[in-house]
């Protein structure tokens, strides 16, 4: 396991990442198990505000670890702000983590219980840093919005993504994905937990202000199954490996004081759409 050659198998999976990424055993690693009864309430913590412009979506790709939707982050058309953030953070990309059929696949857990999948919307601090790469190594460089996916009925808008997954079945494949507004993947209630953590994949930089929404969105097993047509492997590789169980388990809280919760008032649909 060298360079980008990491994965989710027995030999190259999360338990082995520390060999090449020592920060894997660091003091603010993610994900974590969120214990609601132990979360600290902070009355000064306000709601989050999301402004997403569908014109900023660019492409969808299989990077060999997940399916990733990339956005134009050259300006502030698509941003998250408020809550624990001092200024707007620009949307860079979003991706998913999921398990095998009928299994949990979220990275964060709540009181030891996981969800079927987890969506991560990755934003960066363009006020303090010139590039995403610079921000990704800074303690306050990134803000990731985590959304749980719970198995149930069909999700009205997820098909927009699942319908094109066959076009990015193999590692390294990509296609245009224009006009998509991720606000359609948000739950109606934006109450959240927040804590200081890290990227959940190598290089595992401890640069993330995590905002994990308390309310999940509901998706069907059929929709989740569409993600499992993806392959960890490239089209030219002899050994095909179905993409599933691409999640890191919860990490120790260590010296972090607590998780902060914002769940006061009626904070419904606090986003705007251009």
d(CA 192, CA 262): 5
Q: Report, in angstroms and rounded to the nearest whole number, the Rg of the chain calculated over CA atoms.
A: 18
Residue 169 · residue 242 · CB < 8 Å: no
The CA distance from 254 to 40, in Å, is 16
- Separation between Cα atoms, residue 33 and residue 250, nearest integer Å: 6
| 97: annotated active-site residue | no
DSSP class of 85: -
Residues 187, 114: Cα–Cα separation, whole Å:
17
Report the run of H or E that residue 159 belongs to, with start and end: helix 159-162
Q: Is 72 helix (H, G, I), strand (E, B) or coil?
A: coil
Q: Which of 5, 65, 97, 262 is catalytic?
A: 65
Residue 176 β-bridge partners: 59
Q: What is the sign, positive or negative, of the torsion defined by CA atoms of 240, 15, 115, 186?
A: negative
How many Cβ atoms sit within 10 Å of the Cβ of residue 201? 23
Residues taking part in catalysis: 65
């Amino acid at each position: 396991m060298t360079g980008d050659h990491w994965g989710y198998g027995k030999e190259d999976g999360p338990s082995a990442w520390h060999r090449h990424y020592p920060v894997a055993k660091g003091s603010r690693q993610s994900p974590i198990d969120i214990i609601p009864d132990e979360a600290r309430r902070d009355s000064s913590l306000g709601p989050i505000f999301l402004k997403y412009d569908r014109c900023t979506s660019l492409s969808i790709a299989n990077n060999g670890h997940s399916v990733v939707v990339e956005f134009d982050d050259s300006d502030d058309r698509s941003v998250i702000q408020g809550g624990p953030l001092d200024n707007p953070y620009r949307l860079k990309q979003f991706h998913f983590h999921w398990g095998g059929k009928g299994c949990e696949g979220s990275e964060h857990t709540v009181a030891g219980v996981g969800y079927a999948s987890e969506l991560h919307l990755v934003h960066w601090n363009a006020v303090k840093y010139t590039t995403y790469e610079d921000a990704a190594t800074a303690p306050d460089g990134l803000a990731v919005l985590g959304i749980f996916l719970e198995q149930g009925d069909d999700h009205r808008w997820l098909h927009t993504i699942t319908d094109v997954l066959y076009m990015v079945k193999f590692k390294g494949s990509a296609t245009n994905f224009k006009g998509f507004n991720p606000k359609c993947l948000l739950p109606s209630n934006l109450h959240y937990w927040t804590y200081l953590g890290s990227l959940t994949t190598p290089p595992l930089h401890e640069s993330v202000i995590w905002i994990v929404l308390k309310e999940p969105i509901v998706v069907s097993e059929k929709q989740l199954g569409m993600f499992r047509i993806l392959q960890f492997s490239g089209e030219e590789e002899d050994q095909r490996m179905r993409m599933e169980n691409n999640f890191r388990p919860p990490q120790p809280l260590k010296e972090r004081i607590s998780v902060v919760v914002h769940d006061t008032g009626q904070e419904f649909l606090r986003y705007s759409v251009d």
